Amino acid sequence: MQQTVSIIISGKVQGVFFRQSTKEKALELGLTGKVSNLPDGTVHIVATGSPDALELLSAWCQQGPPKANVFSVTIEKLPLQVFEKFMIDRFK
């Protein structure tokens, strides 16, 4: 059964390839959704997939890519959202 989660990552997470690395990890896990930088310096992920894959993505976010320094990760379940693919949202 598919689920959707929102993940907010704070710390040194912008300018360290967090969005690109997240997209690569999400595709590896078979997830769909989007990742974006927010004006407050955080990264926001909305991802849809199996509970196991979402758990693996959430665990990966605790560390992130090599240059990131993650301070906190906040995860919230959302109503199911359907995406065709996983994309980087460059509008935020």
Parse the chain into domains and list their residue ranges: 3-89
Per-residue pLDDT reduced to its tens digit, 16-44: 999 999 999 999 999 999 999 999 999 99
Is 90 labeled as catalytic in the residue annotation?
Answer: no
How large a percentage of the chain has pLDDT more than 70?
98
User: Measured between alpha carbons, how far apart are the two ends of the chain, in Å?
Assistant: 30
Per-residue pLDDT reduced to its tens digit, 64-87: 999 999 999 999 999 999 999 999
So what's the pLDDT on residue 91?
61
So what's the pLDDT on residue 90?
81
Check 21, 22, 37, 48 and give the catalytic one. Answer: 37
Check 5, 19, 26, 68 and give the catalytic one. Answer: 19
Beta-carbon contacts of residue 62 (< 8 Å; ≥ 6 apart):
70, 73
CATH number belonging to domain 3-89: 3.30.70.100
